[in-house]
A and B are shown apart, each in its own frame.
Chain A
Amino acid sequence: MALLETQALTANYGDFQALFGVDITLERGETVAIIGANGAGKTTLMRSLSGVLQNAPEQIQHKGTPVGALPADTIMKRGIAMVPEGRRLFRSLSVEENLVIGGQHKGGADFGDRLDSLIARITGAPDPALLAGGHDGQGYWTLDTIYELFPILRERRHTPGTALSGGQQQMVAIGRALMSNPDVLLCDEISLGLAPVVIKDIYAALPKIKETGASVIVVEQDIGQAMRVADRVYCMMEGRVTLSGRSSEISREAIHEAYFGATA
């Protein structure tokens, strides 16, 4: 059973269909990269996996449980954390508070979840809490270990999150997601807009993240970067997976064709 899997995943924005039957899998311990041109549907896929977009329940399976229709907060409590496109730090929170809030609601059903499932039972609605089982929220990542991973953040911990450089903000966004000790980490274009040397620093954290037990999906525009870090890659175009395979086995030509379409 895969750790995380989509089966014929479709997603819509109103009348606009953005995903057409996407199948991807993430096995325990793997790093998978999603590549594709602008508008291919990479972010839509990540939003679906993280619960920001709701899908049919069966279309996404986490440890064999259908989770496609669960809301983002429940998905997060199941152990799937996301570093969203554009970092999205909380501007009213300091660097440290941004990190703390990432771990504040981790693990298991809380009082609000229980109250909600009670209300659902009374009103006859399907139980929205379908629970956060299987993730104990304990683990390696704490404020201290995040600061060890990204020492610069310790120095800046009392500044507002949005007063940092782009690279530092990306570190906060990654740290914030790690604070819940996820078993799946979703990263949407963590290198976007950053200088090569900063990108290198950020990807240097990946081995340590893997070591603590997280499996990772990265969305990357930079094909070379994706091939270096990932065990397997999926290439998307216009809402479909056009190519998938082990990074070591697929050719540049095949990727080029899958990325830009057959006419390129």
Chain B
Amino acid sequence: MIWVDTIIQGILLGGLYALFAAGLSLVFGIMRLVNLAHGDLIILASYLILILVTATGMNPFVAAIVAAPVLFALGWLLQRFVLNRTLGDDILPPLLVTFGLSIVLQNALLEGFSADSQRISLGALETASVSVGSLSFGVIPLLTFASAIGVILGLNQLFYRTGIGRAFRATSDDATTASLMGIRPNRVFATATGIAMIVVTISALYLGTRANFDPSIGPARLIYAFEAVIIGGLGSLWGTLAGGVIIGVAQTLGAAINPEWQILAGHVAFLVVLLVRPRGLFPRGND
């Protein structure tokens, strides 16, 4: 029974990793931009939620709703005035610029908030759990997983049922021809990064409430996100969820055997999947 419990905890943890990965995957899918600052942007969003909570005493969920449009605007501006200039045939400039951005963000957060670890408090909800038979699930992990599913459903609806989603797909296929349809690719990219920042806000809410965070942990979250995206197969959001779950389960199983193996087990699972299916479990087209 303890194994069942461990696996379920791992699946729920996978929801968090899928959230980290969804924003990364969205941006990569539309403009082939690998945002190396993605993890740091999540930490930035966690601090923003934390500030709102401590300054006004508002509920963290409300704080996330307040933070979301701010981060949307930040993402829009970042894409519009910085990242769009780096896009082109050469993949190196966006990597260099987002790597630089990652360092800038880490140092700015360190300057602003010190290296002390922080946590967003949810009060009684933190320890709340629901029991099914002899199993008990934390409410927060359940909410995290449900949010991951909600985000993926929402993004899929956006992609396949709306005009802006159609413009996203068309621009991703062929930006020049999209411009002949009255679409300005740079605007589409800015909107996409804005939307990715809303997903970042949701990730940040759970990251900050489930565990301690400090300015330095962004890159590690980026790695989990990367692994989830690659396991899932580039471009498939449901695959990304599966990737997150695989890493989550590997980590909790590893930790159950030996607490020191938690992180390692996740990376090993990633390598194994990559060896067996180099293009990921659900390569593009199976979305």
Tell me the A residues contacting B by CB distance below 8 Å: 50-52, 71-73, 76-77, 81-82, 84, 88, 90-93, 97, 100-102, 104-106, 112, 116, 176-177, 180
Given A52-B176, A52-B179, A84-B177, A73:B170 Cβ within 8 A: no
B181 surroundings in chain A (CB, below 8 A): 73, 76, 101-102, 104-105, 176, 180
Q: Could you tell me if A93 and B166 are in contact, using CB atoms closer than 8 angstroms?
A: yes
- Out of B173, B176, B183, B184, name the residue touching A92 (CB < 8 Å): B173
B172 surroundings in chain A (CB, below 8 A): 92
A76 surroundings in chain B (CB, below 8 A): 179-182
Chain B residue, CB-CB nearest to A119: B80
A105 surroundings in chain B (CB, below 8 A): 167, 181-183
Q: Could you tell me if A84 and B180 are in contact, using CB atoms closer than 8 angstroms?
A: yes
Instruction: For the complex, give the distance between the alpha carbons of A219 and B176 in Å.
Output: 19
Instruction: For the complex, give the distance between the alpha carbons of A100 and B81 in Å.
Output: 30
Given A101-B166, A104-B166, A50:B180 Cβ within 8 A: yes
Given A81-B180, A101-B181, A105-B182, A92:B169 Cβ within 8 A: yes
Minimum distance in angstroms from A76 CB to a CB of chain B: 4
29 A-B residue pairs with Cβ-Cβ distance under 8 Å, sorted by A, are A50-B180, A51-B179, A52-B179, A71-B179, A72-B176, A72-B180, A73-B179, A73-B180, A76-B180, A76-B181, A76-B182, A90-B173, A90-B174, A90-B177, A91-B173, A92-B169, A93-B169, A93-B173, A101-B167, A101-B181, A104-B163, A104-B166, A105-B167, A105-B181, A112-B184, A116-B184, A176-B181, A177-B180, A180-B181
B180 surroundings in chain A (CB, below 8 A): 50, 52, 72-73, 76, 81-82, 84, 177
Chain A residue, CB-CB nearest to B285: A92
User: In B175-215, which residues have CB < 8 Å from any A CB?
Assistant: 176-184, 187
Interface residue SS majority, chain B: helix
Minimum distance in angstroms from B212 CB to a CB of chain A: 40
Chain B residue, CB-CB nearest to A78: B182
B177 surroundings in chain A (CB, below 8 A): 84, 88, 90
Additional A-B contacts beyond A72-B176, A73-B184, A76-B179 (7; CB < 8 A): A71-B184, A88-B174, A90-B177, A90-B178, A92-B173, A100-B166, A180-B181
The count of residues in chain B whose C-beta lies closer than 8 Å to any C-beta of chain A is: 18
Count of A-B residue pairs with CB < 8 Å: 68
Interface readout for B202-232 with A: 1 if CB under 8 Å, 0 if not? 0000000000000000000000000000000
Q: Could you tell me if A101 and B187 are in contact, using CB atoms closer than 8 angstroms?
A: no
Chain B residue, CB-CB nearest to A50: B180
A180 surroundings in chain B (CB, below 8 A): 181-182
Q: Could you tell me if B170 and A90 are in contact, using CB atoms closer than 8 angstroms?
A: yes
Instruction: For the complex, give the distance between the alpha carbons of A177 and B182 in Å.
Output: 11
Instruction: For the complex, give the distance between the alpha carbons of A55 and B163 in Å.
Output: 31
Instruction: For the complex, give the distance between the alpha carbons of A194 and B166 in Å.
Output: 29
Chain A residue, CB-CB nearest to B169: A92
B166 surroundings in chain A (CB, below 8 A): 93, 97, 100-101, 104
Instruction: For the complex, give the distance between the alpha carbons of A88 and B170 in Å.
Output: 11
Instruction: For the complex, give the distance between the alpha carbons of A71 and B175 in Å.
Output: 13
Q: Could you tell me if B170 and A101 are in contact, using CB atoms closer than 8 angstroms?
A: yes
Chain B residue, CB-CB nearest to A179: B181
Q: Could you tell me if A72 and B179 are in contact, using CB atoms closer than 8 angstroms?
A: yes
Minimum distance in angstroms from A37 CB to a CB of chain B: 25
Instruction: For the complex, give the distance between the alpha carbons of A46 and B111 in Å.
Output: 54
Instruction: For the complex, give the distance between the alpha carbons of A90 and B187 in Å.
Output: 19
Q: Report which residue of A50, A81, A101, A106 has the largest number of chain B beta carbons within 10 angstroms of its beta carbon.
A: A101
Q: Could you tell me if B169 and A73 are in contact, using CB atoms closer than 8 angstroms?
A: no
Instruction: For the complex, give the distance between the alpha carbons of A123 and B163 in Å.
Output: 30
A81 surroundings in chain B (CB, below 8 A): 180
Instruction: For the complex, give the distance between the alpha carbons of A72 and B179 in Å.
Output: 6
A71 surroundings in chain B (CB, below 8 A): 179, 184
Minimum distance in angstroms from A50 CB to a CB of chain B: 6
Q: Report which residue of A72, A76, A93, A105 has the largest number of chain B beta carbons within 10 angstroms of its beta carbon.
A: A72
Instruction: For the complex, give the distance between the alpha carbons of A100 and B179 in Å.
Output: 15
Instruction: For the complex, give the distance between the alpha carbons of A104 and B180 in Å.
Output: 12
